[in-house]
């Protein structure tokens, strides 16, 4: 019986050395991995000297084709060079230099060996050498690159990230082909050893900021990272805030554009959600469509989204405040309609709004959890039948249903889902404040919200930039989305190392001479 606990086992694993004896090495490996059934260890003899060797890989993580190639090469190489009688000592060096597979590297200890193998590499062990060769043979089935469901856009690339870091980084590399796109990686998680990579443009992203990010990532000490949300919580600023201080997305185009602004993307293996830091509130409200549609439409969409963003925070609170405290601010016809519709409703306005809000929250949550086919049905049953029945029974008034439903819809215009979640929670606070002391309460809530937002920073970058601090130059891409040929400068705080982004004055103008002029047309007659 082996009574060593996990930390002890990990400790021993890290200390386990490779020795010159193949059998001992294999025994150690078997002991450490418990001879797990997916770990294949194939013994063979190589070369005319018949050096005992072993091939180790994990079934299901390798490309069969690559393994075959490898073995083929092994035979070929050993015979090619080994006619003279290659000995145990030379075989390692010879093979390491001449194997044809894409990558081959050395492993000096069991830890390196196993970590390579667990990533889909194949290890070669030889008797008489205290080293192993790791060959790149990885290949396993992946989800195909599809459009992200939760971040759809009308006019934007249809690609979305998948669960593999390598594929994800390649999606970025395909978009930014400069050699100055640097990607660093590290492994996080004592048991999962998850690959975490971060990409940035060297020379554009601030060095102090990169140093800070590196140290924050390195500081993470946890047994396992299963999703980038875990990384997010470890590195984010203002951990108590309801607002996301790390931006996450499934869209390569958004990540690429963030990198081009001087931000850094953090890829985590096993999740399609890529984190972008530093984040600000503004980027949560920008959708890809804004940028790829022509200017006036982009402008319109952006403004629409800003308005609905504000509404999703404040509308129900304002409704309660107006009806309970300031009916004088509501036009008489509207007020009488609301009053008439409320006659006989047994709850006060606040209770009514809270009731409906809670119902909608439950409906939404149920809609997410349920299987997709049933989910739609639930939403319809819930929204239509429940709402209608409640109104008919006189339990809630139609006005409240309109307000709550409209607010819910407005909150979904936010391109980042986590912001919609934030809005839900803050909305409840606003309802309470509105019910407590009317518009004064709403104003209080608004001010506290502003103070909270402006005092937040994401990796030192002000969360509310370019509104607070006010950066006039960055307003070209804030509430309004300016023409592309007017976006001459990078965001000032992010791209401070080289502000100029493009050649100024690129506004398209009609050509001086044209083949299509009216005069030419006249000539034909």
Query: Using CB under 8 A as the criterion, which residues of the chain lie in contact with another protein when the complex forms?
Result: 238-241, 323-332, 335-345, 348-350, 392, 394, 429, 432-433, 435-441, 443-445, 447-452, 454-456, 460, 462, 464, 467-470
| DSSP codes, 26-88 | HHHHHHHHTT-TTEEEEEEEETTTTEEEEEEEETTSB-HHHHHHHHHHHHHHHHHHHTTT--H
Choice between 41 and 437, CB closer to another protein: 437
Q: How far apart are CA 164 and CA 267, in angstroms?
A: 9
Among residues 59 and 388, whose Cβ is nearest to another protein? 388
Residue 344: CB minimum distance to another protein, A = 6
Q: How far apart are CA 390 and CA 384, in angstroms?
A: 10
Looking at the Cβ atoms of 125 and 322, the one nearer to another protein is 322
Cα end-to-end distance, the chain, whole Å: 103
Least distance to another protein, CB of residue 471, Å: 9
- How far are the Cα atoms of 166, 278, 287, 355 from residue 388, in angstroms, in the given order? 50, 45, 34, 15
Tokens representing 342 are 């409320």
Structure tokens at 382: 């819930």
CB of 461 to another protein, least distance (A): 13
Q: Which is nearer to another protein, 198 or 467 (CB)?
A: 467
Helix/strand/coil for 115: helix
Nearest distance from residue 8's CB to another protein, in Å? Answer: 39
Beta carbon nearer to another protein, 154 or 470: 470
Q: Please state the closest distance from residue 333 (CB atom) to another protein, in A.
A: 8
Minimum CB separation of residue 309 from another protein in Å reads 14
- Identify any residues that bridge with 462 across adjacent strands, giving them in sequence order: 457
CB closer to another protein, 332 vs 507: 332
- Residue closer to another protein by CB (options 167, 436) is 436
Q: Give least dist CB 424 to another protein, A.
A: 15
Closest CA to 201 of 175, 174, 177, 181: 181
Question: Residue 182 or residue 432: which is nearer to another protein going by CB?
Answer: 432
Q: For the CB of residue 418, give the shortest distance to another protein in the complex, in Å.
A: 17
Residues linked to residue 52 through DSSP beta bridges, in sequence order: 45
User: What sign for the dihedral angle of Cα 239, 241, 247, 248?
Assistant: positive
Q: Quick one: CA torsion of 436, 404, 250, 278, rounded to 10 degrees?
A: -20
């Amino acid at each position: 019986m082996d009574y060593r606990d996990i930390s002890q086992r990990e400790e021993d694993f890290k200390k386990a050395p490779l020795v010159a004896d193949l059998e001992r090495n294999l025994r150690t490996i078997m002991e450490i991995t418990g001879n797990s059934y997916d770990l294949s260890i194939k013994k063979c003899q190589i070369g005319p000297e018949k050096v005992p060797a072993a091939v180790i890989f994990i079934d299901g993580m390798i490309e069969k084709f690559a393994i075959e190639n490898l073995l083929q090469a092994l035979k070929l190489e050993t015979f090619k060079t080994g006619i003279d009688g290659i000995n145990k000592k030379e075989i390692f060096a010879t093979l390491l230099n001449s194997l044809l597979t894409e990558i081959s590297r050395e492993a000096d200890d069991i830890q390196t060996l196993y970590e390579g193998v667990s990533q889909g590499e194949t290890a070669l062990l030889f008797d008489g050498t205290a080293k192993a060769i790791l060959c790149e043979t990885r290949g396993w089935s992946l989800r195909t690159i599809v459009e992200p469901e939760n971040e759809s856009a009308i006019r934007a690339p249809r690609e979305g990230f998948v669960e593999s870091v390598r594929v994800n980084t390649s999606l970025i590399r395909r978009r930014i082909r400069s050699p100055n796109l640097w990607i660093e990686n590290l492994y996080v998680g004592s048991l999962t050893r998850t690959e975490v990579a971060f990409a940035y443009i060297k020379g554009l992203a601030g060095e102090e900021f990169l140093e800070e990010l590196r140290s924050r990532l390195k500081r993470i000490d946890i047994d396992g990272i299963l999703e980038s949300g875990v990384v997010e919580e470890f590195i984010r600023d203002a951990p108590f805030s309801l607002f996301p201080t790390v931006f996450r997305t499934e869209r390569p185009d958004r990540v690429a554009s963030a990198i081009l602004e001087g931000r850094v993307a953090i890829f985590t293996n096993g999740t399609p959600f890529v984190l972008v830091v530093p984040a600000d509130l503004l980027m949560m409200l920008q959708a890809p469509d804004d940028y790829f549609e022509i200017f006036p439409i982009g402008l319109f969409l952006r403004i629409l989204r800003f308005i609905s963003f504000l509404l999703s925070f404040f509308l129900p609170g304002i409704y309660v405040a107006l009806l309970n405290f300031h009916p004088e601010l509501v036009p008489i016809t509207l007020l009488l309609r609301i009053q008439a519709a409320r006659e006989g409703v047994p709850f006060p306005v606040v209770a009514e709004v809270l009731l409906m809000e809670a119902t909608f929250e439950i409906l939404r949550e149920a809609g997410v959890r349920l299987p997709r086919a049933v989910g739609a049905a639930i939403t319809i049953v819930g929204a239509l039948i429940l709402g209608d029945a409640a109104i008919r029974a006189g339990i809630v008034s139609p006005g409240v249903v309109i307000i709550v439903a409209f607010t819910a819809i407005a909150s979904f215009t936010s391109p980042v889902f986590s912001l919609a979640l934030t809005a839900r929670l803050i909305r409840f606070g606003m309802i309470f404040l509105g019910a407590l002391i009317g518009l004064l309460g709403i104003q209080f809530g608004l001010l506290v919200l502003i103070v909270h937002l402006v005092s937040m920073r994401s990796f030192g970058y002000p969360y509310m930039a370019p509104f607070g601090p006010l950066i006039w130059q960055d307003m070209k891409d804030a509430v309004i989305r300016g023409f592309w040929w007017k976006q001459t400068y990078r965001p000032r705080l992010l791209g401070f190392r080289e502000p100029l982004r493009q050649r100024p004055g690129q506004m398209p103008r009609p050509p001086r001479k044209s083949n299509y002029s009216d005069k030419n047309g006249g000539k034909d007659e």
